[in-house]
Amino acid sequence: MTIKSACLAAAVAASLTACANGDLSSLNSNALMASGGQAYKAMSLSASDVKQLSDQACQQEDKTHTVAAANSKYQQRLNRIASQLGNDINGQPVNYKVYMTKDVNAWAMANGCVRVYSGLMDMMNDDEVRGVVGHEMGHVALGHTQRAMQVAYATTAARGLAGASGNSVVASLSNSQLGALAEALVNAQFSQSQETAADDYSFDAQKKKGQNPRGLVTAFQKLAKLDNGQSSMFSSHPSSPDRAQHIEQRIANGQ
């Protein structure tokens, strides 16, 4: 292993530790300065870089999943829910699609790519889906997904998939490279404060539009029953019951 490779591996080891602890927010430029350059570049990705990488990652995910047809009951239902959520996130147009899979998940990327799994739609009513998707959109609006992309790219670079010698961090990536990047991004974990902030974003957005935010409560209650209280999409702390209680308290306080 070269000195540069060792530095890069050490830098991203710190990234992976933070991801495992569900604390993306603990990462900073100083922690990656010793990477030999590439990992630091990853943490310095601009908003434009992140959007371009998100475009590629989202396209790759669409290729590896069965996307619901435009006239399917799932896509038509999501379109109705999307009309309540809005067509943009901080001015970024949103593209909503459904993946036909029994998995229970939903995610959003910084380019406005929002994907909801049919497994989640099967177990939740419209208010609950709206609350969950609003939460994912909150991660975008609050800048959490940009940091998640930085970590995902740094992780990909450490695995030798991204060209460390390139002048630009946004380069043409192979399907395997895009697959690794997309997987790391979709499975990214957020810190406790970020998860709570995204919950509050969804709550506040619904209240502002005159919608009932109680769907967040029942969505968390349903997720708490999966995998002994930890669902695949909300596996980071605080736990689903605690998050349901937080929203219940906000409703009770009229906030």
Looking at the structure, do residues 82 and 159 belong to the same domain, yes or no? yes
Residues 40 and 56 grouped into a single domain: no
Per the CB < 8 A criterion, the answer to whether 92 and 148 are in contact is no
Same structural domain for residues 192 and 159?
yes
Long-range contacts of 114-118 (CB under 8 A, 24+ apart): 114/82, 115/58, 115/61, 115/65, 116/78, 118/68, 118/74
How many domains would you assign to the chain?
Answer: 2
145 shares its domain with 218? yes
Check whether residue 114 and residue 236 sit in a common domain. Answer: yes
Which residues carry out catalysis? 136
- Residues 30 and 92 grouped into a single domain: no
Residue 7's contacts (CB-CB under 8 Å, 6 or more residues apart) are 34, 35, 36
Residues 84 and 159 in one domain: yes
Residue 230 shares a structural domain with residue 178: yes
Same domain, 34 and 153: no
CA torsion, points 34, 38, 43, 46, in degrees to nearest 10? 140
Provide the residue-wise pLDDT of the chain in tens; the chain has 255 residues. 333 333 443 444 444 334 434 444 444 444 444 344 555 566 667 888 889 899 999 999 999 999 999 999 999 999 999 999 999 999 999 999 999 999 999 999 999 999 999 999 999 999 999 999 999 999 999 999 998 988 888 777 666 555 444 445 556 567 787 888 888 888 888 988 999 999 999 999 999 999 999 999 999 989 888 755 445 555 554 578 888 888 899 989 876
Residues 97 and 10 in one domain: no
pLDDT at 19: 40
**pLDDT for residue 39:** 57
Last residue of a domain, one of 44, 60, 76: 44
Verify that 141 and 184 share a domain, yes or no. Answer: yes
Structure-block tokens of residue 122: 């099967």
How many other β-carbons are positioned within 10 Å of the β-carbon of residue 201? 20
Burial (0-12, 13-18, 19+ Cβ within 10 Å), 234? buried
Give the domain extent around 151: 46-253
- Whether residue 106 sits in one domain with residue 171: yes
